[in-house]
Amino acid sequence: MDVKDIIKPENRVYAKTPVLTSTTMHYCPGCSHGTVHKLIAEVIEEMGIQEQTIGISPVGCAVFAYNYIDIDWQQAAHGRAPALATATKRLHPEKYVFTYQGDGDLASIGTAEIMHACNRGENIVVIFINNAIYGMTGGQMAPTTLIGMKTATSPYGRDPKLHGQPLKITNLIAQLEGTCYVTRQSVHNAASARKTKRAIRKAFENSALGKGTSFVEVVSTCNSGWKLSPVKANEWMVENMFPEYPMGDLKDR
């Protein structure tokens, strides 16, 4: 059978969701951001909530998320996405509100905002991209950087005596009463991407049920910041990031 006979509209099993715009993403080749954007867009399409969803984009590489997912967006000052999401959700309780934040945004400058939003149990979804580095600004050390990991500001590797220990902020957030669902996922292969999509869907459903804050960490790569090829970065992540940030649900109620 010829390929031409297979490529027909009636045989199509996977195509780009219309919730994702056709703008070419500015992300580096192989960046996890693109995959997570797509999963969020697919969940929005499947739930039929494109008109009811408001995203809060962060400061960081994902600041331009509003160019890629065709929903309403606001853009927050660095780390303040949960505060903006709180206001948005309280003013529009019928809407689905989510923040999309990196580790520099959420676990460093925005620690106060995320902790208190989660503790208040705002009915929002938090998508947390943890790639253990500041990607946009040139690969500086983040709170989540692993011990011994070389970055622009820790050229000899992160030293716990000098720089402290990696901050497992998701574990802290799981302790807070306001959160109903806290999970850690990844998107390095098809199986894990599908699991992450289910987690994002569950998080959006929780917010409609008014159960509290849902927090989805996606352990991700920054191949440019890590100075590795996309495929090598995924392998490095499995080998080094997963022992420190193990996959799975930390809380589900």
- Judged by the rule CB under 8 A, the positions of this chain that interact with another protein are 1, 3, 5-8, 11-17, 20, 24-25, 27-35, 38, 187-190, 193-194, 229-231, 234
Smallest distance from another protein to CB 167, Å:
26
> What one-character-per-residue DSSP string does 73-94 give?
EEEPSTT-HHHHHHHHHHH-TT
Smallest distance from another protein to CB 4, Å:
9
Q: Which is nearer to another protein, 190 or 209 (CB)?
A: 190
Q: Which is nearer to another protein, 38 or 80 (CB)?
A: 38
Q: Which is nearer to another protein, 11 or 51 (CB)?
A: 11
Q: Which is nearer to another protein, 114 or 136 (CB)?
A: 136
Smallest distance from another protein to CB 134, Å:
20
Q: How many CA atoms lie within 13 A of 120 on its CB side?
A: 15
Q: Which is nearer to another protein, 88 or 196 (CB)?
A: 196
**Token pair listed for 242:** 């997963």
Smallest distance from another protein to CB 194, Å:
7
Rounded to whole angstroms, the Cα distance separating 115 from 148 reads 27
Smallest distance from another protein to CB 61, Å:
12
Rounded to whole angstroms, the Cα distance separating 222 from 192 reads 17
Count of residues in the chain: 253
**Token pair listed for 172:** 């802290």
**Token pair listed for 31:** 């960046």
Rounded to whole angstroms, the Cα distance separating 5 from 35 reads 29
Q: Which of 194, 189, 219 is nearest to 42 (CA)?
A: 194
